[in-house]
Amino acid sequence: MTKREVRILTLVNAQIGAEDLIVDVGAGTGSISIEAAKIALGGHVYAVEKEPDAVKLIRQNAEKFNVKNLTVIEATAPDGFENIPPLDVAIIGGSGGWLMDVLNAVDEKLKIGGRIVLNFITVQSLANCLGWLKAHSNYRYDAIQVQINRLENIGFKDMAKALNPVHIVTAKKIHSAQAAKVIGFAEMKSRIVSKGGLNCA
C-alpha cells in the first residue's frame, strides 16, 4: 500500500473535482481509488489492476467503505482502457513495465486541463516518464522526490526510521495553443548543445 504521506500528496496534486472521471492504474489495494471515489462523489473511478488477489481486495474495501462510484478492471494496463470514458485525472502508481503504453493510452483519454499523477520507486521509470513528458509539448509537469523519516517513540527518546523515497510527477494537459508558445524540446536541445552542453554529468 502506498505510504500515507505519498498518498496524500498524490491525491492533492490530482486536484480531484466532485464530478471527475478518474483512472487509477496499478490500483493495488485500492487505497488511492477509494479515497478518490469519496472526493469525486458525483464522478467515477476506474481501478485497473492485474493481480486477482488485489482485485478482490479493492472490491472488499469498496464495500467496506460503502463506495459505489468505483469500477474495478482486472487487466494489465493499458489493456482494459477500451471502455473507459474521457478522463479528468489519471493516477499511475504501477505500470507493470508498460509505462510508455500506459501513458499513450492515458493521453488518448485525457481531457484538456486533465491531470496525470505518477509515483516512482525506480530511476528508470522516472526517467522514462520525464522523457515522455518532454516529448509531449502539450503537457506541463513538475516532479518532486519525497523522503519521510518516522520518529519512532522508544520511551524517553525518539529514533529516526527512514521510509523508502518516492518520486511524484504531476503533469497537466494544456491547450495546443498554449503549448505552441512553449519552446519545443528539439529546439531547446539544439540551443543548449550548441553552447557546449551542461557542465555536469
Summarize as ranges the residues that interact with a copy of itself (CB under 8 A). Answer: 5, 8-9, 12, 26, 28, 50-51, 76, 92-99, 118-127, 129-131, 134, 141-151, 153-165, 167, 185, 188-189, 191-193, 196-201
Nearer to a copy of itself, 94 or 114 (CB): 94
> Looking up cell 500506459, which residue turns up?
102
Question: What is the smallest separation between the CB atom of 38 and a copy of itself, expressed in angstroms?
Answer: 14
Question: What is the smallest separation between the CB atom of 163 and a copy of itself, expressed in angstroms?
Answer: 6
Q: How far apart are CA 138 and CA 124, in angstroms?
A: 23
Nearer to a copy of itself, 62 or 103 (CB): 103
Q: Measured on CA atoms in the order 85, 15, 2, 32, is the torsion positive or negative?
A: negative
Question: What is the smallest separation between the CB atom of 7 and a copy of itself, expressed in angstroms?
Answer: 10
Question: What is the smallest separation between the CB atom of 83 and a copy of itself, expressed in angstroms?
Answer: 22
How many CB atoms sit inside 10 A of residue 109's CB?
A: 18
SS3 category, 179: helix
Nearer to a copy of itself, 46 or 120 (CB): 120
Nearer to a copy of itself, 63 or 182 (CB): 182
Nearer to a copy of itself, 63 or 150 (CB): 150
Q: Which residue pairs, CB below 8 angstroms and at least 24 apart, start in 126-130?
A: 126/167, 126/169, 128/99, 128/100, 129/99, 129/103, 129/169, 130/169
Burial (CB count <10 Å: 0-12, 13-18, 19+), residue 66: exposed
Question: What is the smallest separation between the CB atom of 5 and a copy of itself, expressed in angstroms?
Answer: 6
H or E element, residue 172: strand 166-173
